[in-house]
Amino acid sequence: MTLLNRYILSIFYRLLLLSLTAFVGIFLLIDFFERIDDFLEHGARGSLYFLYLINNIPIATLQVIPLAILLAAFGTIGGLARSNELTAIRSGGISIWRIISPLIRAAVLFTLISLAANEYLIPLNQKNINYIKRVEVQGKAEIFQKSDDIWFREGNRIFNIRLSRPEEGLLKGVTIFEFDDIFRLVERKDSPRARFLNGSWLFENLAVRRFDPESGMIVDSQTFPETELQLTKKPEDFIETQHKTEQMGFFELRSLIRQLQSEGYDARRYKVDMQSRLAQPFACLAMALLGIPFALRKGRGASLALGVTLSVAIGIVFYILQAMLMALGYSSIIPPFAAAWSAVLLFTMLALWLLLSARD
């Protein structure tokens, strides 16, 4: 690594650390005020919030690191321009592309780190956070879920739900096992689909089989086109399960999608989430490329205050656009790839256009 590269990267990493600390601090502070009422209402121990905070730091870091990289890249080039160091470097015959190359390589490095964190670290943090909120704080019974199944127990009944759609009030692939007091199977109910209507669940094509608890043999079997059953859980109780996709990495989501499709279920939401696992880290590279030309255009007027304002403004536009596209993807209006990648690709192309139009 040349002396010039070390000098530029030392400025960049210093600004990145400062901006990342500030953005993560703001993120956690906002989250604190949103969650503190829930913790106080349930009389949660202070240690639980500390654990919640520790697990939330990596998630917050991954969310705000593109903005921190944007501010650090803008501040690095802007600082060199304000001090006339950029002019001195360029007067020595060194091109703009040679000057910004270490920043681009650093952005690529953080993109790769974010990809690895999305696959291995963030799912673990999300599991811990969901457990703390649901079980430790709210005192709810934990819903056990593998990559493709939801399991929970109510009294002498055990429920297995293949797929939940809380926002639509739908459950798919429902099986209910009922046991006697000494845990012998007495009845099994199977339904391909259940809808929540007027405070109760309406099961379609419900197959009911009753068993002799002594021998385990079927003693009766019936099928009902539509049957209403009372369950203690409502659609909102499955929202936590819906959020379990946050606990999956790219490869786990891909495996889940293949299995759901082979069984005839709609996996469009999971496809969008899977593509998002890959697209989100590349926002680091897009933001670095975007911050550099803005600093070059402002020259000696590229102040830190302008960099902060620019980073926040671009970040708001980016995340609003990303949220809108993801919603369109969930609704099947646009393909999953377009929903996850369009914002990143659009900002990357804008950044490249600005870089190419910058005067060397």
In this structure, the answer to whether residues 98 and 128 fall within a common structural domain is yes
Q: Are residues 200 and 231 in the same domain?
A: yes
Specify which residues 160 forms β-bridges with: 151, 175
3-state secondary structure of 185: strand
Whole-angstrom distance, CA of residue 52 vs CA of residue 34 = 13
Q: Which SS3 state, helix, strand or coil, does residue 262 take?
A: helix
Q: Is residue 329 part of a domain?
A: yes
Residue 253, in any domain of the structure: no
340, two tokens: 């996850």
252 in a structural domain: no
Q: How many domains does one find in the chain?
A: 2
Same-domain check for residues 348 and 206: no
Per-residue pLDDT at 137? 67
Contact, 10 vs 35, CB < 8 A?
Answer: no
Give me the pLDDT at residue 286, please: 93
Pairwise CA distance, residues 155 & 108, whole Å: 53
pLDDT for the residue numbered 200: 84
203 in Cβ contact with 229 (< 8 Å): yes
Q: 164 and 120 in one domain?
A: no
Q: Do residues 231 and 290 both lie within one domain? A: no
> By C-alpha distance, which of 173, 164, 337 is closest to 262?
173
Same domain, 319 and 183: no
Q: What is the pLDDT along the chain (360 residues), one digit of tens a residue?
A: 588 888 889 999 999 999 999 999 999 888 888 877 777 776 777 777 888 889 999 999 999 999 999 989 888 888 887 888 877 887 877 878 888 889 999 999 999 999 999 999 998 888 888 878 776 666 665 554 444 568 878 778 888 888 887 777 888 889 999 998 888 899 999 999 999 888 888 999 999 999 988 888 888 899 999 888 877 777 767 665 554 677 888 888 888 888 777 766 678 888 999 999 999 999 999 999 988 887 777 656 556 677 678 778 888 899 899 999 999 998 889 999 999 999 999 999 998 888 887 654
Please report the beta strands in 91-238, taking only residues with DSSP state E, as ranges in sequence order.
144-145, 150-154, 157-165, 170-179, 185-197, 200-211, 218-229
pLDDT of residue 147: 41
From the CA atom positions of the chain, what is the Rg in Å? 26
Concatenated DSSP letters for 191-222?
EEEEEEETTEEEEEEEEEEEE-TTT--EEEEE
214 shares its domain with 299: no
Work out the burial of residue 91: count CB atoms within 10 Å of its CB; fewer than 13 is exposed, 13-18 middle, 19 or more buried: exposed
Sheet holding 157-165, edge to edge: 144-145, 150-154, 157-165, 170-179, 185-197, 200-211, 218-229
Give the span between the Cα atoms of 56 and 49, in whole angstroms: 10
Burial class (CB in 10 A: 0-12, 13-18, 19+), 134: middle
Q: Do residues 270 and 132 share a domain?
A: yes
Q: Name the residue among 88, 57, 93, 77 with its Cα closest to residue 301.
A: 77
Give a yes or no: residue 231 inside a domain. yes
For residue 18, how many C-alpha atoms fall within 13 Å in the half-sphere facing its CB?
13
Question: What does the pLDDT read at residue 239?
Answer: 61
Report yes or no: 287 and 347 within 8 Å, Cβ to Cβ: yes
Q: Mapping DSSP to helix (H, G, I), strand (E, B) and coil, where does residue 1 land?
A: coil
115 with 179, same domain? no
Who's near 197: CB < 8 A, 6+ residues apart? 169
Q: 70 with 287: CB under 8 angstroms?
A: yes
Phi, psi of 82 (to 5 degrees): -65, -35
Residue 255 lies in a domain: no
Helix/strand/coil for 169: coil
> In 10-41, which positions are buried (b, 16+ CB within 10 angstroms) versus exposed (e)?
ebbeebbeebbeebbeebeeeeeeebeeebee
Domain that holds residue 25: 3-138+262-357
Instruction: Decide: pTM greater than 0.85.
Output: no
Same domain assignment for residues 206 and 307: no
Show the tokens assigned to 62: 């991954």
CB-CB contact of 86 with 98 (8 Å): no
**Maximum separation of any 2 CA atoms in the chain, in Å:** 92
One domain, residues 313 and 210: no
